[in-house]
Amino acid sequence: MENILEVKDLHVTFDTYGGTVQAVRGVNFNLKKGETLAIVGESGSGKSVTTKALMGLIPKPAGKIPKGEILFGGKDLAKLNDKQMQQIRGRDISMIFQDPMTSLNPTMKISKQIMEGLIQHQKLSKKEARTRAIELLRLVGIPEPEERINQYPHQFSGGMRQRVVIAIALACNPQILLADEPTTALDVTIQAQILELMKDIQEKTQTSIVFITHDLGVVANVADRVAVMYAGKIVEIGTVDDIFYNPKHPYTWGLLGSMPTLDNDEDQLVAIPGTPPDLMHPPKGDAFAPRNPNVMKIDLEKEPPMFQVSDTHYAATWLLHENAPKIEPPAAVKRRMQGFASDHGPTEEGEKR
């Protein structure tokens, strides 16, 4: 299946009073039609900045894309100006933000907020846009949409507000949906409902999704492929099965080890020691080296390339070099890998979870 989006060697920087922050440092990935790609990592790893770059939402003049390509529909989005990007935002690429209350205008009825994009991008009349808005509210599972479309955001619960935000994002049938931690502000039960809703909508519309999260538990249920980001770079990328059954990067081991499980009362969470590096002064070599319990001399001297593990699986760690010592994931990580296997089971190639 051909790629709908290709990101090549993307760099994003921010000028600050203290110096230049290299927030994204050479990111590469692609996205296929109908696929969900999850980008995971700690706060500050560059996940959200990457998605904002795709939408042309890097704040200027402090934010810049000094290098790289974002190829979509025969265009390099990194080269487009704000006016050109306005034709793409909402119509071709939409975004669901983390907190629905900051995404919705509290002074405007839901009807107007959904209809805006339909009138601007789809050139629908107000009557047609209203009919379509009601259909969208019904699609995202809001009961009595004919009545609720006339209400304001404060009249909806947190979960229902997020459904409204999803309806707005889907209004113009975008080819790509960017979801920036869309369930973080919601309780666990509502999270599960929203994730199930997104999976259901994707099956119906074949929209491609880039899902940003720090929660690997969420990834297991929604993604086809996973990209693990650290210090502005993708350090491992593969299918969900690759990442959960056969992780190769020590940082991925750390993320898996910090996942809570219910099957073992004695099992303690494994914290990743240390803190992420200062991207105003990126470290030499492997950025994860100071936090890596299996650090080698070369990690401190030379940045690792992306080693190919399989046709779908790549990781940037010197542990994959043929001369490196053979180091197994920690016992806590292995237990979580086994727990994932018992909870989910391996998937067939191309099968949606």
Q: Which residue has the tokens 């969208």?
A: 136
Q: What is the pLDDT of residue 263?
A: 59
Strands (E), 135-253: 176-180, 208-213, 225-230, 233-239
Mean pLDDT across the chain, nearest whole number? 89
Strands (E), the chain: 3-16, 19-32, 36-40, 63-72, 75-76, 93-96, 176-180, 208-213, 225-230, 233-239, 307-308, 314-315
Cα(213)–Cα(48) distance, integer angstroms: 9
Q: Which residue has the tokens 């960017």?
A: 178
Cα(277)–Cα(286) distance, integer angstroms: 11
Q: What is the pLDDT of residue 233?
A: 97
225: helix, coil or strand?
Answer: strand
Tell me the pTM: 0.90
Q: pLDDT tens digits, residue range 234-291?
A: 999 999 999 999 999 999 999 988 877 665 555 566 788 899 999 999 999 999 999 9
Residues 6+ apart with CB under 8 A from 162: 96, 100, 182, 183, 185, 186, 190, 194
Confidence band of 173 (pLDDT split at 50, 70, 90): confident
Cα(243)–Cα(31) distance, integer angstroms: 17
Are 289 and 295 within 8 A, CB to CB? Answer: yes
Question: Across residues 106-126, what is the average pLDDT?
Answer: 92
Full DSSP string of 235-263: EEEEEHHHHHHS--SHHHHHHHHTS--SS
Lowest mean pLDDT segment, chosen from 5-19, 206-220, 249-263: 249-263
Are 229 and 29 within 8 A, CB to CB? Answer: no
User: Taking the chain, what is the end-to-end CA distance rounded to the nearest angstrom?
Assistant: 19
Lowest mean pLDDT segment, chosen from 48-57, 106-115, 153-162, 214-223: 214-223
Question: Across residues 179-186, what is the average pLDDT?
Answer: 81
Cβ neighbours, 10 Å, residue 141: 18
Give the closest residue to 181 by CA, choosing from 103, 253, 276, 277: 103
Question: Across residues 89-98, what is the average pLDDT?
Answer: 88
Confidence band of 341 (pLDDT split at 50, 70, 90): low
Q: What is the pLDDT of residue 353?
A: 46
Q: pLDDT tens digits, residue range 23-53?
A: 999 999 999 999 999 999 998 999 999 999 9
Give the CB-side neighbour count of residue 20, counting CA atoms within 13 A.
11
| Angle 292-240-205 from CA coordinates, rounded to 5° | 140
